[in-house]
Structure 1
Amino acid sequence: MSKKAMLVLCLGLLGGCGGEDWGPDQHGRTVADEALRGRWLVINYWAEWCAPCRKEVPELNRLSGELPAAQARVLGVNFDALQGEELATAVRALGIDYTNLERDPAARLGLEASAVLPVTWLVDPQGQVRERLTGEQDAAGLRARLAALGAEL
């Protein structure tokens, strides 16, 4: 086999080594695995009818703007599994600035279903769930929890 053919084969195999994409966001754009892999994830489940969820949106927007994107990301997941334009409309109505996933990552990350909202999961760069926080959160409290878990942000 020629060196060129070997290189093409190796690159093809390496290209397949990444994880599965996370599905579309609220804009219909695919959230690539590479965009989230190796980062702390703050995953917040919310619903339009949840008053505490609505109150914490500005705090999550603030946190999303403060975190270095190369090290951490804030993600939203609609509890009612809204998709497409319904999700986009709800995100706009609540003023959410951070990425919202159409596909629930619960199975991918081993997250337990929650009977209460809001619920926020902290996932480390290795993909391990480190903490589950129920109830309304604020940016300062989430930064403190991440720091306590060893995140250097």
Structure 2
Amino acid sequence: MLRSALLYTALVIGANTAFAGAVDWPAAQAAGLAKLVPSEDAPPLPGTTFTDPEGNTHALSDYRGKVVLLNFWATWCAPCREEMPSLDALQAEMGGDDFQVVPVATGRNAPEKIDRFFAETGVTTLPVLLDPRQQLARDMGVLGLPVSVLIDREGREVARLLGDADWASEAAKAVIRQLTAE
């Protein structure tokens, strides 16, 4: 009980912008994001482009100045189905000028299947972005799904999580608050 109280207090203080500094990775891991691994000496992000269903081209550099939670997923991925509603909730609550969830469907994911997936899982705020040849996923070293990559305002990878997570959790929101306060 005392350990939980101390952990919660650490997350609250860490999430308070008046006390913000570096992200408290151990607190985030202990509070529910156990698979979140800080990135040390991560290579520069690739300039690889991806698209939307209308054929518009996007790049990670488009989001410079924002903290980004880049999520690689697919319509056939069962853990993605569990995770996507929490990404949607995080975007609905915290998305804006400082933060953006960027979900990229990698591999063969027809836009109609993505629309059906979003409808079935209740996703309403996330954009549809596509990496049909998996070039961005390969360039980012993604070997399985889902994978989430936290990117700071300068466009540097700061952490990575392999597998699904509850991105609407207080632990996840505390990490985002800490990153956007820097």
Please tell me the residue identity of whatever aligns with 2:156. Answer: Q
| Superposition CA RMSD, Å | 2.8
| Offset of residue 146 of structure 1 | 2.5
Structure 2: stretches of 5+ with no match in the other structure? 1-46
Fraction of identical pairs, as percent? 29
- In the TM superposition, 1:32-43 aligns within 5 A as 36-43=63-70
- In the TM superposition, 1:69-148 aligns within 5 A as 69-82=96-109, 86=110, 88-95=111-118, 96-97=123-124, 98-103=126-131, 105-106=136-137, 111-114=140-143, 116-138=144-166, 139-140=168-169, 141-148=171-178
Rounded Cα–Cα distance in structure 2 between residues aligned with 1:42 and 1:79: 15
Question: Could you state the TM-score of these two structures normalised by the residue count of structure 2?
Answer: 0.57
- In the TM superposition, 1:10-89 aligns within 5 A as 22-31=49-58, 36-82=63-109, 86=110, 88-89=111-112
SS of the residue 2:88 aligns to: helix
Please tell me the residue identity of whatever aligns with 2:88. Answer: N
Rounded Cα–Cα distance in structure 1 between residues aligned with 2:163 and 2:55: 29
Q: How many corresponding residue pairs?
A: 126
Q: Which has the larger radius of gyration?
A: 1
Per chain length, whose mean CA-contact separation is higher, i.e. which structure has more relative contact order (CA < 8 Å, sep 6+)? 2
SS of the residue 1:151 aligns to: helix
Go from structure 1 to structure 2 and tell me whether the alpha carbon gap of 1:79 and 1:24 turns closer, same or farther (over 3 Å shift).
closer
Question: Could you state the TM-score of these two structures normalised by the residue count of structure 1?
Answer: 0.67
